[in-house]
Amino acid sequence: MKRLLAIAEILVIVVIAIAPLFAVFPYRINIFLSWEGAYRMSIGQLPYKDFGIPLGYMYWVIPAAFFKIFGAQLITLVKAQAFINLLSGFAFLSIAKSLKVQPGLRFLGVLLFSLSYSFLNYWPWYNHTVIVYELIGIAFLLKYLMGTQSNKQQLWLIPAGMFLFFSFFTKQDGGALGFLLCFALLFYNALTSKKWLPLLVFAGSAIITALLMILPFTKYGFGYWFNHGQPPHTSRVSIRDILQEFMTGSMWLKFYLFIIALLLMATIKNWKEYWRNRPQMIFSLLTLGILAEAAIFQVTSYVPADNNIFFHSFAFIFIFTLLAALLPIDFNQRKALIIGTAGVLLWWSHMFWKYFERFVFKGGGEQYTTTTYNGITYANTVNRNTYIVSLDTTDVPLSEWRIPKLKSFEKILVPGPTVDGIERLMAMPLVKNNKALKVLNMSELTPLAAEIPYSLETGDHYPLWFHQGVGMFEKQTEMFVDRIHKKHYDLVLYEYIPYANNFYPFKIREALLKDYKQVDVFPATRKPSSNSWIEIYVKE
């Protein structure tokens, strides 16, 4: 049974990680950032020297490597994320093994982790990658903490410190929380074992890694872009916001804490003995630390929603480990394992049901006729899916999205009118006949850099993306306004999103309307596609 479970958990990690590779995807909001950062690094550009970013560059390392191998396509990002999901799945498996979680429960934990945290994330995003690096670092750390702790075992602390810095150099908040958690575990270990050297080895590894990765860039704009001296930049850490979110939401976090408190009360007979029981204490500290991190992370890194759900798997294996010690539950037995697997699948059925339903009920469902009046289509049969009428007659339904005939957009669905707009753009004589175009692409169609093609502008104060107050500031806005006024660009793509306050600075659009000629406009790649537009400008 143990051998079968070991094979099964590997299959779960691999199958769920690579499943997205066989699908076709609608264009994902904000994925343009992942593409351009990876593309720039894959063609040899250096962060902070050739482009500015307000975070570390480790987020783009894996996608850039995959661009070099598979080509600069949007679907390559999905391939890179499949690899990242493999890393996260095996990191969680290693953590569970180090914590001596019984094989049956460990399998259920891996299944839950893969469904809840890997299956959902099929595009790379820094708020996910930061946690993956942290989990890898924790896996290495536990190799030491739960081992013999010999001098040879201390070697595990070197990659632990490296990956925790990789986490920090992906996103500061998640990386800092990961460091605090690891330092708490090592501090407890030092107090109980009277060995302080491991704490120094871990810290030393992180510091040396930091110096190697930062010092080469200090002669460029590193300090400015890494959240230093960026008015009007403000801190996202607010105790009030964290408490408000926790008290008014965070239902699962509070539920887990409540159950854990009850189980610890029933488990702990002598607090001093529990303190000296290193495996139990490390498991407890790790789980509570992960829950605390999730409570903070959901406030400091709120895009996308539910990006902190990595905590479910840790709480699950900890709670059921405590329950197994109190009740006659053996998850290695077939009956308990089958019930547990069915329970996890039912609990997280919302993750896969919409895909499963397409095959099970293919061609089924309630049939109804429609009536069109004043351009609005009404269903004659009313049910929970048809009783609300959308008054937005300009939105493009997903059924009318299609794949552009461009290599970089292979297997990526885009709104039909957007595809038409891209084709008109590619057919423009200015684009077809000019091999040295100066282009400002202030839109989410960043893969056009590999299609038109045009050279990407560089400079240590040139922003990788144009989000006002996050990716660029007044200095950059004025730079673009000045270049537009001087007719520096042959072609400009500007994405106008009225509801997103200055996402692409409105001041730049005002300059374009004054000094350039708008020759086309079509819906952007967002959903709904009726409230954002890509405007095409050329010189007068």
Q: CA-to-CA distance for 425 and 439, rounded, in angstroms?
A: 13
Average pLDDT, the chain: 89
Q: What pLDDT score was predicted for residue 535?
A: 97
pLDDT for residue 26 is more than 80: yes
Nearest to 16 by CA among 80, 112, 102: 112
Backbone angles phi and psi of 34, in degrees to 5: -60, -40
Dist. CA 60–CA 198, nearest whole Å: 31
Among the ranges given (70-74, 359-363, 496-500, 505-509), the one the predictor scored with the smallest mean pLDDT: 359-363
**Burial tier of 114 (Cβ tally within 10 Å: 0-12, 13-18, 19+):** buried
Would you say residue 280 has pLDDT above 70? yes
Q: Is the pLDDT of residue 369 over 80?
A: no
pLDDT band at 167 (very low <50, low <70, confident <90, very high): very high
Instruction: Name, in order, each residue with C-beta under 8 angstroms of 113's C-beta and a sequence gap of 6 or more.
Output: 88, 89, 92, 310, 312, 313
CA dist 85 and 107 (Å) reads: 17
- Check pLDDT > 60 for residue 88: yes
Q: Is the pLDDT confidence value at 364 over 60?
A: no
Query: Which residue in the block uniquely carries the two structure tokens 């105790």?
Result: 239
Q: Could you write out the DSSP letters of every residue in 420-432?
A: HHHHHHHH-HHHH
End-to-end CA distance of the chain: 74
More confident residue, 273 or 236: 273
Local confidence band at 361 (pLDDT 50, 70, 90 cut-offs): low
What pLDDT band is residue 377 in, cutting at 50, 70 and 90?
low
Q: What is the predicted pLDDT for the residue at 530?
A: 63
Lowest mean pLDDT among 128-137, 187-196, 221-230, 326-335: 221-230
What pLDDT, in 10s, does the model give residues 340-350? 999 999 999 98
- pLDDT higher for 409 or 332? 409
What's the confidence (pLDDT) of residue 528?
Answer: 67
Residue 485 has pLDDT above 90, yes or no: yes
CA dihedral 527, 529, 531, 533 (to 10 degrees): 120
Residue 450: pLDDT over 80: yes
Distance of CA 514 to the CA centre of its chain: 38
Least confident of 40-44, 334-338, 518-522: 334-338
Collect contacts of 194-199 with beta carbons under 8 A, ≥24 apart.
195/149, 197/154, 198/144, 198/149, 198/154, 198/157
Query: What's the pLDDT at 70?
Result: 96
Res 416 pLDDT > 90: yes
pLDDT given at position 242: 86
pLDDT of residue 383: 62
Q: What is the mean pLDDT of residues 115-136?
A: 93
Q: What is the mean pLDDT of residues 295-317?
A: 85
pLDDT of 461 above 80: yes
Inter-CA distances, 304 with 120, 298, 300, 326, Å: 11, 9, 12, 38
pLDDT for residue 449: 94
Confidence at residue 232, expressed as pLDDT on a 0 to 100 scale: 56
* Separation of alpha carbons 267 and 186, rounded Å: 24
Neighbouring CB atoms inside 10 A of 115's CB total 22
Highest mean pLDDT among 150-159, 161-170, 300-309: 161-170
Work out the average pLDDT over 301-323: 87
Is 70 exceeded by the pLDDT of residue 370? no
User: Does 362 score more than 90 pLDDT?
Assistant: no
Highest mean pLDDT, choosing among 60-64, 308-312, 449-453, 469-473: 60-64
What is this structure's pTM? 0.92
Angle (CA) 257-262-263 rounded to 5° is 100
pLDDT of residue 177: 95
Residue 529: which pLDDT band, with cuts at 50, 70 and 90? low
> Binning pLDDT at 50, 70 and 90, where does residue 371 land?
low
Percent of the chain's residues with pLDDT above 90 = 66
What's the pLDDT at 498? 87
Average pLDDT on 259-272 reads 93
Q: Provide the pLDDT confidence category of residue 393 given band limits of 50, 70 and 90.
A: low
Q: Using the predicted structure, report yes or no on whether residue 281 has a pLDDT greater than 60.
A: yes
Extents of the domains making up the chain: 238-332, 366-395, 401-539
Give the pLDDT confidence score for residue 149 in this predicted structure. 79
Query: Is 494 in a helix, a strand, or coil?
Result: strand
Q: Worst-scoring range by mean pLDDT, 59-68, 76-85, 227-236, 324-333?
A: 227-236
The pLDDT assigned to 325 comes to 87
Is the pLDDT confidence value at 141 over 70? yes
* Nearest residue to 409 via CA among 63, 77, 79, 73: 73
* Cβ neighbourhood burial of 309 (10 Å; 0-12, 13-18, 19+): middle
Question: How far apart (Å, rounded) are the C-alpha atoms in residues 222 and 20?
Answer: 36
pLDDT greater than 70 at residue 278: yes
Distance CA 540, CA 525 (A): 27
What integer pLDDT is reported at residue 256 of this predicted model? 96
User: Helix or strand or coil: residue 413?
Assistant: strand
Residue 329 or 516, more confident: 516
Q: What is the pLDDT of residue 503?
A: 85
Is the pLDDT at 59 greater than 60? The verdict is yes
For residues 413-438, give the mean pLDDT.
Answer: 93
Helices (H), 150-277: 157-168, 172-193, 197-214, 222-225, 239-248, 251-267, 271-276
**pLDDT at residue 380 is higher than 70:** no
